[in-house]
């Protein structure tokens, strides 16, 4: 029984290790290319609350956010949070790229 248990634990560890490694490689590939796609960053970090199409869910609709807020104001919301939105969900250049992209939504 002990041999079976050890085999199951080791097999699970190998399986889980193999699954996790692929995600890291994919993330590193995008970063090393130096390209930042604001829509991808948004979907990975913001769409859970704002929807994949910016239609809003638990967070507000952002489809026309650029007509209400400037790029600087959008960046400020990303950096400082607002209402129930926490601050710094995305940071640095990624935040700037997303703010620029959202400011074009009019």
Report the CATH number that the domain containing residue 91 is assigned in CATH. 1.10.760.10
Residues 43, 4 share a domain:
no
Please give the residue that has the higher pLDDT: either 1 or 44: 44
Residues 59, 15 share a domain:
no
Residues 56, 21 share a domain:
no
Taking residues 95-99, what's their average pLDDT? 97
Residues 79, 27 share a domain:
no
Domain that holds residue 20: 1-35
Q: How many domains does the chain have?
A: 2
Q: Mean pLDDT over all residues of the chain?
A: 82
Residues 8, 23 share a domain:
yes
Taking residues 66-85, what's their average pLDDT? 96
Residues 84, 40 share a domain:
yes
pLDDT at 35: 80
Using alpha carbons, select from 86, 106, 100 the residue that is nearest to residue 39: 100
Please give the residue that has the higher pLDDT: either 102 or 6: 102
- Distances from the Cα of 24 to the Cαs of 17, 20, 40, in angstroms? 11, 7, 16
pLDDT digits (tens, 9 = 90+) for 24-45: 444 444 443 458 999 999 999 9
User: DSSP readout, 13-79?
Assistant: HHHHHHHHHHHHHHHHHHHHHT---HHHHHHHHTHHHH-TTS--SSSPP-TTHHHHS-HHHHHHHHH
Please give the residue that has the higher pLDDT: either 72 or 11: 72
With a pLDDT cut of 70, the percent of the chain lying above it is: 68
Taking residues 51-76, what's their average pLDDT? 96
- Distances from the Cα of 32 to the Cαs of 28, 35, 47, 95, in angstroms? 6, 8, 24, 18
Locate tokens 């710094």: which residue? 88
Residues 43, 24 share a domain:
no
């Amino acid at each position: 029984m002990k041999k079976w248990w050890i085999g199951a634990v080791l097999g699970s560890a190998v399986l889980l290790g193999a699954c996790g490694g692929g995600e890291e490689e994919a993330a590193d590939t995008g970063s090393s290319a130096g390209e930042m796609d604001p829509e991808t960053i948004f979907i990975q970090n913001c769409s859970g609350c704002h929807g994949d199409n910016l239609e809003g869910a638990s967070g507000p609709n952002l489809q026309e956010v650029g007509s209400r807020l400037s790029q600087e104001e959008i960046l400020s919301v990303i950096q400082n949070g607002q209402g129930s939105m926490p601050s710094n969900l995305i940071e640095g250049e990624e935040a700037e790229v997303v703010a620029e992209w959202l400011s074009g939504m009019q």
